[in-house]
Amino acid sequence: MPKIVAGWLEGARQVPTARFNRRPAGTDICLIVIHCIALPPCHFGGPHVDEIFLGRLDPTAHPYFKLAAAVECSTHFFINRTGLITQYVSCLDRAWHAGRSVYRGRPECNDYSVGIELEGCEYCAYTTEQYDSLKVCVAALRQAYPGIGDKITAHSTIAPGRKTDPGPYFDFSQLGCNGN
């Protein structure tokens, strides 16, 4: 079973980005936030997810990209449709995935969470390979950061009215929790 070593998941594809900053000193990592992404929406494969998290998405390559490229976002992990795990930011650092957010009354989820993006959209199911890889990733995170426990939630839960991902097809029961 792979482990998190110095913030990086063993065996994951590593594509480091400059889009991160330090977590506030002394922050306990105690939450996982599940997201979905596809560029363009509902179109799977291709280089654009790497490009957006690296800050290299060409705003002229697709009409949707004009706005998407202007958002300074990143994530710790991305799991594509085949289950390949890519890591862009060390878990020890703060990735920019949650935006304005509140979890169980506590604001600024980016400070204390790990972000996992699944390649997908809100209109179709995730793949078995994605759940298999997600379980590996979550198990490693729970072992490295025991404060996480059952605290795994959806972007839509911590940013209601603003975000709707990962959508109704994401099955939290696969992770042994209810997403709240």
Please give the positions annotated as active site: 117
Decide if 129 contacts 136 (C-beta within 8 A).
no
Least distance from Zn ion to the Cβ atom of residue 79, Å: 14
Number of residues engaging Zn ion in binding (CB under 5 A): 3
In the chain, DSSP assigns E strands to 4-5, 8-9, 13-14, 21-22, 31-37, 77-79, 85-87, 93-94, 102-103, 106-107, 113-119, 152-154
Number of C-beta neighbours around residue 115 at 10 A: 26
Least distance from Zn ion to the Cβ atom of residue 32, Å: 12
Which residue stretch of 33-41, 60-68, 72-80, 101-109 sits at the interface with Zn ion (rule: CB under 5 A)? 33-41
Least distance from Zn ion to the Cβ atom of residue 19, Å: 15
23 part of the interface to Zn ion, by CB under 5 A: no
Of the residues 35, 48, 76, 142, which one makes contact with Zn ion according to CB under 5 A: 35
**What SS3 state is found at 116?**
strand
- Interaction with Zn ion in 140-169: which residues (CB under 5 A)? 155, 165
Q: Which residue number, 25 or 37, has a Cβ lying nearer to Zn ion?
A: 37
Positions that interact with Zn ion (CB under 5 A): 35, 155, 165
